Amino acid sequence: MTETLIRNARTVLTMDDDATEPGGIDILLRDGVIAAMGEGLPATGEVVEARHCVVTPGLVNTHHHLYQTLTRAVPGGQDALLFGWLKTLYPIWARFGPEEIYTSAQVGLAELALSGCSLTSDHLYLYPNGARLDDAIAAAEDIGLRFHATRGSMSIGASNGGLPPDSLVEREEAILTDCIRVIDAFHDPSEGAMIRVGVAPCSPFSVSRDLMREAALLARDKGVMLHTHLAENAEDVAYSLANFGCTPGQYAEDLGWTGPDVWHAHCVKLDPQEIDLFARSRTGVAHCPCSNCRLGSGIAPVAAMLEAGVPVGLGVDGSASNDMGNLIAEARQALLLQRVAQGADAMSARAALRLATRGGAEVLGRHDCGQVAVGMRADLALWDVSSIESAGSWDPAALLLAGPQKVRHLFVEGRQVVRDGQITTLDLPTVVARQNRLARTLSEF
Ligand SMILES: [Zn+2]
């Protein structure tokens, strides 16, 4: 039995149904679960002092391409729109292999952990030179984050009218076979699972209609979730209208890509009918505000989605289009972006933080995460509000308005992955040095 007592938390943003915010309480973590909450709990294991900390659920990231941390700020892609940006990066990604996938995932996961993230999904959709989903999963297991890996894919190369080069696409039969392999090898459907696997063709413009349909059938047969990019920008919608004769939302519905076991990244250009469809079918959305700003894609109608009842979480998206992977900063960006579009009362600091925690957990089908409550998994982020970022704040729990951008302590399944602002589970300077070496080699090619 392992126990940790978080003692005397200044404020706990529980994200429970009543949005309660108790102060001055202890939280007991036992065997991966929140075992008790209250004043003056007895300590029988390790004690973490939280007098200066605001405690939140561990943040949940619903969209990422971890491998892209190796191609941040690539000069040719710095100022391009989505399709031009992809065409710049595809040839570089084609030179990746297992070591690049593993190391870039370590860097991306460490960056997320330092920003308070305890659960992340990853969308890996290219497998050059022997790379496998297993490489990213190994990185997550090593650092100790809860991980929803998705087996992405691309099957329509340039010679067939698609966007990616032929060297980065796979045969559809091989894609489906490997989806089955990784689900059987890694997917854990049980409560408290550290690893789950989803099925995730990259986007409607890089796979066939057949593969979209087959992927949905396979995912339902296996009881796993579905994920892809949808309605990211105006070009994306124009492609859908020209090639499929319908909007992205309609295309998704026709192929079985709606429901509580599906979440789509971006959805910047959903129209009111599509929002209604997503709300009725409980189809989730991964909102990626920094990426949408960075690529000039537009402002997703998140306030309207929430109003309609669409499940919405946040995603940092791949580091090549952000280029950071800081989830607490992403939550602040979500708040700012809705206010640009809708006014200062469009989204409160607490509502944006809710998207980053419970909202994301719901999108990923994790009803055991995303709240600080007895019986939930022991995934907690502790934010030190005695530091300069909060100095003078009248409401330190309004973290996104004035608060730290790095977590002080992070617990995942009761295990301390960040202690005093440092990752405990890997030697970060060594990992960063290896990543920079790999980036240099790729750039010299
Ligand atoms: Zn993406």
Distance 341 CA to ligand 1 centre (A): 22
The DSSP output letter for 357 is I
pTM confidence score: 0.97
Distance 66 CA to ligand 1 centre (A): 10
**How far is residue 214 from each of residues 172, 176, 226, measured CA to CA in Å?**
9, 8, 11
Supply 187's token pair.
């997917």
Give, for all 445 residues of the chain, the pLDDT tens digit.
789 999 999 999 999 999 999 999 999 999 999 999 999 999 989 999 999 999 999 999 999 999 999 999 998 888 887 778 888 999 999 999 999 999 999 999 999 999 999 999 999 999 999 999 999 999 999 999 999 999 999 999 989 988 889 999 999 999 999 999 999 999 999 999 999 999 999 998 889 999 999 999 999 999 999 999 999 999 889 999 999 999 999 999 999 999 999 999 999 999 999 999 999 999 999 999 999 999 899 999 999 999 999 999 999 999 878 889 999 999 999 999 999 999 999 999 999 999 999 999 999 999 999 999 999 999 999 999 999 999 999 999 999 999 999 999 999 999 999 999 999 999 999 999 999 999 999 998 7
Q: What is the pLDDT of residue 79?
A: 86
Taking each continuous run of H as one helix and of E as one strand, the counts in the chain are 14, 18
The DSSP output letter for 356 is I
Burial call 186-214: b when 16+ CB within 10 Å, e when fewer: bbeeeebbbebbbbbbbbbbbbeeebbeb
Pick from 266, 350, 275: nearest CA to 57: 350
Supply 167's token pair.
């060297």
Distance 264 CA to ligand 1 centre (A): 10
Distance 359 CA to ligand 1 centre (A): 18
CA atoms of 1 and 297, how far apart (whole Å) = 49
Distance 267 CA to ligand 1 centre (A): 11
Distance 153 CA to ligand 1 centre (A): 13
Q: What is the pLDDT of residues 205-254, one digit of tens each?
A: 889 999 999 999 999 999 999 999 999 999 889 999 999 999 999 999 99
CA atoms of 256 and 252, how far apart (whole Å) = 6
Distance 70 CA to ligand 1 centre (A): 15
CA atoms of 415 and 444, how far apart (whole Å) = 40
Q: What is the pLDDT of residues 390-420, one digit of tens each?
A: 999 999 999 999 999 999 999 999 999 999 9
Supply 273's token pair.
């009918």
Sign for the CA dihedral angle at 65, 67, 69, 70 comes to negative
Distance 183 CA to ligand 1 centre (A): 21
Q: 409 and 48 in contact (C-beta within 8 Å)? A: yes
Distance 124 CA to ligand 1 centre (A): 9
Q: Which helix (H) or strand (E) holds 433?
A: helix 428-444
What spatial distance separates the first Cα and last Cα of the chain, rounded to whole Å?
A: 51
